[in-house]
Amino acid sequence: MKLKKNFVAATMLAGATTVMSFMSAGAAQAQGALVMYCAVQEEWCRAMTSAFERETGIKVSMTRKSSGEIYAQVKAESANPRADIWWGGTGDPHMQAAEEGLTVDYTSPKNSELQPWALRQWEQAKKRTIGVYSGALGFGYNTELLKSKGIPEPKCWADILNVKLKDEVQMADPNSSGTAYTLLATIVQLMGEEKGFDYLKALHKNINQYTKSGAAPAKAMALGETTVGIAFMHDIVTMVVDKAPIKVVAPCEGTGYEIGSMSIIKGGKNQDNAKKFYDWALTPAAQKLGAEAKSYQVPSNKSTPVPPEAPKLEEIKLINFDFAKYGSSDERKRLLSKWDNEVKNLP
Ligand code: PLP
């Protein structure tokens, strides 16, 4: 009986040890890991990942996707979240996720160092997302292709409706791409909804492809696969820096801009590490990695040097972009399905 009791106790102990060592392995793992969804260019995502790993010893598992795709994934995983931090990409899906309770509020000690536009985003999202960079939307053209087609230099949104540009304009799909959603929201704010959709339908005649990622049209222009590409101006500048024959245009009618954002995912397994990353990502040391990876946005920390290549926001005619409205769940869903029904499915 005694033996049996001891056996039971030993078995229980062994079992407990197994559980405990399993738990401590889990805890160690939780202490040293971070799962990041990243929406900027792959090169910048990788630079952020390795710099943070070097700085903290925390192992980062990073996945790069477009802004709208990350939103869809975070929503699909909300019952059992896989990721801890969502870094970069346009603010609108971050705002939508905030409204839908997919992300958590956080006040970083770094907030006091940020530009007012970065904090406005944070306030409007009830502290659930924050601005990490900003940049203006525009388009570019391949100067050699344009010349070979004898087309005058486009300077305005209206100019890229030119019939001679049939199948010569590329943009992304606003469902997956934050860049393209910024275009959709910009055109609606600039022209009004009815005229704006007329414009997008007319533009559709010139579109050769709706790409998944927002920066793809800039790359396609550089490769000579499309004459005109609609993208963030800083993404087009990257191609110019790489010596592609491309000119960047700030459209004459005015244009929209983005507040690239960052959010902590609700229910992520490594919340403390997500906060560590969040605080670090707001420092000048982290933010200057953007320009080093040839991404030329305007950083949100006032002390991060603005890359000289970054398009000067103060020299561009910017619309008064309503981030709260166009980042709201209802408006975003409504505009995207309207675009699907009235524009994308046109012949
Ligand atoms: N890459 C850069 C450099 C950006 O500025 C942005 C916008 O935030 C994105 C990617 C977003 O890409 P997408 O349009 O594919 O969501």
Mean pLDDT confidence for 217-234: 98
Q: If we measure between CA atoms, which residue out of 124, 125, 25, 45 comes closest to residue 85?
A: 45
- Structure tokens of 177? 């791409």
Rounded to the nearest integer, the mean pLDDT of the chain is 92
Quote the ligand 1 centre to 8 CA distance (angstroms). 59
**Contact of 229 with 179, CB cutoff 8 Å:** no
Least confident of 23-37, 97-111, 182-196: 23-37
Which of 92, 213, 292 for a ligand 1 pocket mutation test, highest count of atoms within 8 Å of Cβ? 213
Question: In the prediction, which pLDDT does 9 show?
Answer: 35
Q: In the structure, what pLDDT confidence band is assigned to residue 224 with cuts at 50, 70 and 90?
A: very high
Q: Are strands 85-87 and 103-104 parallel, antiparallel or unpaired?
A: unpaired
The rounded Å distance from CA 179 to ligand 1 centre is 6
All CATH 3.40.190.10 domain ranges in the chain, comma separated: 33-134+258-306, 136-257+333-344
Pairing of strands 169-172, 207-211: parallel
pLDDT higher than 60, residue 32: yes
Kindly indicate the confidence band of residue 347, based on its pLDDT and cuts at 50, 70 and 90.
confident
Question: Residue 16: how many CA atoms within 13 Å on its side-chain side?
Answer: 6
- Give the mean model confidence (pLDDT) for residues 281-291: 98
* DSSP characters over 82-138: --SEEE-S-HHHHHHHHHTT-EE----TTGGGB-HHHHHHHHHTTTS-EEEEEEEEE
Note whether 273 and 58 are within 8 A (CB): yes
pLDDT digits (tens, 9 = 90+) for 127-163: 999 999 999 999 999 999 999 999 999 999 999 999 9
Give residue 136's identity as a one-letter amino acid code.
A
Q: Which helix (H) or strand (E) holds 241?
A: helix 233-241
In CATH terms, the fold of domain 136-257+333-344 is D-Maltodextrin-Binding Protein; domain 2 (3.40.190)
Reported as a single tens digit per residue, the pLDDT across 230-243 is 999 999 999 999 99
Contacts for 328 with CB less than 8 Å, ≥ 6 apart: 95, 96, 99
Whole-model pTM over 0.80: yes
Distances, alpha carbon 180 to alpha carbons 47, 226, 229, in Å: 25, 17, 11
**Distance between Cα 214 and ligand 1 center (Å):** 6
Per-residue CA distances from 7 to 19, 288, 293 (Å): 18, 61, 61
Q: Is any ligand 1 atom within 6 A of the Cβ of residue 216?
A: no
Q: Ligand 1: which of 90, 94, 175 to mutate, most ligand atoms within 8 Å of CB?
A: 90
Distances, alpha carbon 183 to alpha carbons 175, 225, 265, 332, in Å: 12, 21, 26, 13
Ligand 1 atom 5: residue of nearest CA: 40
- What tens digit of pLDDT does each residue of 316-325 get? 999 999 999 9
pLDDT tens digits, 241-257: 999 999 999 999 999 99
Per DSSP, which regions of the chain are E strands?
Answer: 33-38, 59-64, 85-87, 103-104, 130-142, 169-172, 207-211, 228-232, 246-249, 257-265, 298-299
pLDDT (0 to 100) of residue 203: 98
Q: Are 257 and 159 in contact (CB under 8 A)?
A: no
Q: Measured between alpha carbons, how far is residue 8 from residues 12, 17, 18, 21 in Å?
A: 6, 14, 15, 20
- Assigned token pair, 179: 């860049």
Residue 227 CA, ligand 1 centroid: distance in Å: 21
Q: Is the pLDDT score of 16 beyond 80?
A: no
273 CA distance to ligand 1 centroid (A)? Answer: 24
The verdict on the CB of residue 226 being under 6 Å from ligand 1 is no
Strands 59-64 and 33-38 come out as parallel
Contact 85, 277 (CB under 8 A): yes
Mean pLDDT confidence for 10-31: 35
Where residue 101 falls (left for φ over 0; alpha for ψ -120 to 50; beta otherwise) is: left
**pLDDT confidence tier of residue 27, bands split at 50, 70 and 90:** very low
290 CA: nearest ligand 1 atom: 3
CATH number of 33-134+258-306: 3.40.190.10
288-313 pLDDT per residue, tens: 999 999 999 999 999 999 999 999 99
The Å distance, Cα 219 to ligand 1 centre, comes to: 13
